[in-house]
Structure 1
Amino acid sequence: MMTGMASYRARFDATVSFTNGGGLQVQGFLVDVPAAEVTPAQVGELFLDSLGLLMAGDVELTNLEIVEAAHKGTRGGPSADGRPSGDRPTYVELSHVIRDGMVTLPNLPGPEFGLQLSREASRELYAPGTEFEIGRISMVANTGTYLDSPNHRYPDGHDLTGYPLDRLVDLPAIVVRVEDSGRLGIDAAALATYEVQGKAVLLHTGDDARFGTPQYVENAHFLTRDGAQWLIDNGVALVGIDAANIDDMTDGTRPAHTLLLGAGLPIVEHLTSLAQLPPTGALFTATPPRIEGLATFPVRAYAKLP
């Protein structure tokens, strides 16, 4: 779901000639545009900027159409500097609400809510007119939107207490939109155009629309082995995804977990509402309680918009 004013992308075929000879042809190319009312000349300039082409001469566009879609932060485009289009809230919630009996994954039990002390019973403990309620919750650590620490995968890895706040709070975010890529695996090629050093990379798949249903785990997007290694090699700070698992759930070796947690990187799974974030410029936060001996726990994940 998009909030505030709509954002747009241009889809087109293009032929480019170069001043030093040769040419380039593309079909179905997409670039972010600042508004629905853009000229072919403006789209041509954005196209050249997005590819960083040098010595480009004439650009001929055909089959040009403007579509309403979230910006992906194409280089030189209106969202490349992280400025959102239109009015947006200062903060965006990115975690699912935890409810009694909710289903996060089909093979895990939902949380159970109860009372340790009811308001009625508390009246016997306090002065007249004073009452309190103390609740109880029983749940598996992998409930709702949660963060994995290295101990989730490795017995000698640190637990939730091992991350200082600067590893989890106000991280510059990059949103990688793959919901319309036609592929479930997010590989190194899909990430290669992004500058991820010191960033929280948030993989926007759109799978969160199926959260809480049996279809959530069917044909789910995931990060491939080479995608995870590319992120590590390029200095990523945290990786999040709005899908059922950061790994291909049919692969029992769990390469993304193995590599990322082996490198000490936090993983946040089951995010939501990533469509509301700009491609760059937001600050991402996901902090679990400091629970000693526990490897995974729900987080309040959110983003601060520029």
Structure 2
Amino acid sequence: MLQHRAEFDATVTFRNGGALQTQGFRVDVPHADVTHADISALFVASLGLLMVDRVELQRVRVFAEQHKGTRGGPSDTTALPRPGARERLVELSHVITDGMITYPGLPGPEIRPYLTHEQSRDRYAPGTEFLIGSITMVGNTGTYLDSPIHRYADGTDLAGLPLERLADLPAVVVRTLDSGQRGIDAAALAGYDVAGRAVLLHTGGDAHWGTPGYAVDAPYLTRDGAAWLVEHGAALVGIDAVNIDDIAGEGPGERPAHTLLLAAGIPIVEHLTGLAELPPTGARFTAAPPRVAGFGTFPVRAYAAVPAVEPHDHTRSAGWLPTG
């Protein structure tokens, strides 16, 4: 069987400071059409790097050659999934509680019982009881997803979104929390392979969730950043902040990121949390709302599946470790 390897220069930056540069590094790859994100993940695993924030590749060349058994690569026999192991699921959504405020100026949800356990006892056999709850809320509650009709009257509603845009998407995490910049522009995105992927903007804005500071000088995606994601084929874009646009920005009510992304049919997930628990690449992201016709925004249970592996020597082989 024809096998392939990749050669490249790489610059690695770490979440706890410092950087690493390599020239002419080679790793085994599974096929000739491997993406830069996949090569980056193989590179990180091959060196056993920890606390990786970002990998930038240059001068990438994929060529036919027999595998050398790169650690963590397709021919490595020392880092295989544990027998019966499943992926680790990471929660990425906020809990919705009665009266909580998600977005300034919008009402919090009203959560009430329609039928309590006690009230239901007269309707069922002895010992059988149920709770039927009632919730009144705006769609922009908790962690939610925007569909194109949220911005455009003739856009696709929640019921019309294909599952391929919502579930089991390969994810790439863009970390900007230590950049010193509120706006995430095209330059901050340029090193990432985003085609067909859920692009998750890890800004650290969720640290202020539930406080007045959550909406003050919040991180956001700039107009040229949104245009870059459209041009490069992102499947979905999410952010762990109050809005994907700058709500204190240039002019009253301007929403260029919503405008460009939703015009291109790219769903938006706002108010994510827990993105620090994801590796830069390799996770798969899901954020699926109910199929509500004529509705543009609704809460989601956003989560990511992270592969579970256990190396032969019983140490972690991944180049990334969750925080906490």
TM-score scaled by structure 1? Answer: 0.75
- 3-state SS of 2:286 partner: strand
- 3-state SS of 1:74 partner: strand
Q: Percent identity at matched positions?
A: 62
Q: Whole-Å Cα distance in 1 between the matches of residues 291 and 218 of structure 2? A: 30
Cα deviation, residue 102, structure 1: 1.1
Given the alignment, which residue of 137, 144, 157 partners 2:135?
A: 137
Any residues of structure 2 matched to 1:156-305 within 5 Å, and which? 156-251=154-249, 252-305=253-306
Given the alignment, which residue of 117, 120, 123 partners 2:118?
A: 120
Corresponding residue of 1:8: none
> Residue 49 and residue 242 in structure 1: after superposition, are their counterparts in 2 closer, same or farther (change >3 A)?
farther
Corresponding residue of 1:106: 104
- 3-state SS of 1:292 partner: coil
Q: Whole-Å Cα distance in 2 between the matches of residues 209 and 111 of structure 1? A: 22
Q: Which amino acid aligns with 2:92?
A: L
Unpaired stretches in structure 2, ≥5 consecutive residues:
1-10, 27-48, 58-71, 74-78, 80-85, 308-324
- 3-state SS of 1:300 partner: coil
Q: Whole-Å Cα distance in 2 between the matches of residues 254 and 30 of structure 1? A: 33
Corresponding residue of 2:54: 73
Contact 2:90 2:306 in 1 (8 A): yes
Contact 2:170 2:282 in 1 (8 A): yes
Q: Which amino acid aligns with 2:52?
A: H
Corresponding residue of 1:153: 151
Q: Which amino acid aligns with 1:220?
A: A
Q: Whole-Å Cα distance in 1 between the matches of residues 302 and 153 of structure 2? A: 26
Q: 1:165-214, CA deviations, whole angstroms, 9 ceiling, x for partnerless residues? A: 11111101000000000000000000001011111100000010101100
Counterpart check, 1:31 vs 2:32: no
Q: Whole-Å Cα distance in 2 between the matches of residues 139 and 220 of structure 1? A: 24
Any residues of structure 2 matched to 1:29-68 within 5 Å, and which? 31-32=13-14, 46-49=20-23
> Residue 51 and residue 211 in structure 1: after superposition, are their counterparts in 2 closer, same or farther (change >3 A)?
farther
The root-mean-square deviation of aligned C-alpha atoms, in Å, is 2.9
Q: 1:137-174, CA deviations, whole angstroms, 9 ceiling, x for partnerless residues? A: 11111000000000000000010011111111110100
> Residue 229 and residue 50 in structure 1: after superposition, are their counterparts in 2 closer, same or farther (change >3 A)?
farther
Q: Which amino acid aligns with 2:269?
A: V
Q: Whole-Å Cα distance in 1 between the matches of residues 110 and 14 of structure 2? A: 45
Cα deviation, residue 101, structure 1: 1.1
Q: Which amino acid aligns with 1:47?
A: Q
Q: Which amino acid aligns with 2:55?
A: T
Q: How many pairs does the alignment contain?
A: 249
Segments of 4+ moved more than 4 angstroms: 49-52
> Residue 49 and residue 135 in structure 1: after superposition, are their counterparts in 2 closer, same or farther (change >3 A)?
farther
Q: 1:22-69, CA deviations, whole angstroms, 9 ceiling, x for partnerless residues? A: xxxxxxx96249x99xxx9xx7xx4134999xxxxxxxxxxxxxxx98
Q: Whole-Å Cα distance in 1 between the matches of residues 291 and 21 of structure 2? A: 47
> Residue 153 and residue 51 in structure 1: after superposition, are their counterparts in 2 closer, same or farther (change >3 A)?
farther
Cα deviation, residue 250, structure 1: 2.2
> Residue 50 and residue 203 in structure 1: after superposition, are their counterparts in 2 closer, same or farther (change >3 A)?
farther
Unpaired stretches in structure 1, ≥5 consecutive residues:
1-28, 53-67
- 3-state SS of 2:22 partner: helix
Q: Whole-Å Cα distance in 1 between the matches of residues 224 and 179 of structure 2? A: 17
Cα deviation, residue 110, structure 1: 0.8
